[in-house]
Amino acid sequence: MHRLFVAIRPPADQRGNLLSLMDGVERARWQSDDQLHLTLRFIGEVDRHRANDIADALGAIRFAPFHVHLSGVGAFDRKGVVDTLWAGVKPRDPLAALHRKIDRACVSVGLPPESRAYLPHVTLARFGRAGGLIDPFLARHAALTGAPFRVDRFALFESRLGHQGAIYHAIADYDANGAAQTPLE
């Protein structure tokens, strides 16, 4: 089985900007540089045949390149306990349009449609069941901003869980006009 998601890797300078924020929150499991990405669609576990169908469907997506930038920070919680710290990405509209195209491609090969509202973000840290005290971090970085960067490609990633957390590997790369694909083996 392959655990997949579709994402954009921010450029190195923006990832460096994000890495510089990662401190001062107890119990935070900070993301490494290799883990920083802007998720466009979480897919989950699929077999090799379905994974290759997804890779093919994503190759049919075309979009006009656009620019986005980092904007602010926030958190997700589960049942009132913080489980994720993130950096926002704006503007939302072109990312949401690309997200919808990717979602339609996934649905076309038999996946259920995405049920959650799309909120563009880059995960900075995750927490265990105890959560963490994040208010000082949120206040300190509320005005986070970054230089605009061009979105002209996205990738299909595989996530493998290891002792040090998830390891992400790009298995297919797509530009705005289609894809140079590497099928799963």
CB atoms within 10 A of CB 183: 11
Q: Residue 135: what pLDDT?
A: 93
Q: Residue 89: what pLDDT?
A: 98
Task: Assess whether pLDDT exceeds 90 at residue 112.
Answer: yes
Q: Residue 20: what pLDDT?
A: 96
Decide the pairing of beta strands 121-126 and 66-78. Answer: unpaired
Band of the pLDDT at 111, cuts 50, 70, 90?
very high
Query: Cβ(180)–Cβ(65) under 8 Å?
Result: no
Residue in 2, 37, 49, 169 annotated catalytic? 37
Mean pLDDT score, 23-47: 95
The domain spans of the chain are: 2-178
| Percent of the chain residues topping a pLDDT of 70 | 96
Place of tokens 């509209």: 93
Decide the pairing of beta strands 66-78 and 81-90. Answer: antiparallel
Task: Assess whether pLDDT exceeds 80 at residue 78.
Answer: yes
Residue 137 CA, chain-centre distance (Å), reads: 21
Cα separation, 164 vs 33, in Å, equals 14
* 2-178 CATH: 3.90.1140.10
Burial of 93 (0-12, 13-18, 19+ CB in 10 A): exposed
Residue in 49, 121, 163, 169 annotated catalytic? 121
pTM, rounded to two decimals: 0.92
Band of the pLDDT at 176, cuts 50, 70, 90?
very high
Mean pLDDT score of the chain: 93
Cα separation, 89 vs 16, in Å, equals 15
121 catalytic, yes or no? yes
2 catalytic, yes or no? no
Task: Assess whether pLDDT exceeds 70 at residue 180.
Answer: no
Band of the pLDDT at 183, cuts 50, 70, 90?
low
pLDDT digits (tens, 9 = 90+) for 148-166: 999 999 999 999 988 777 8
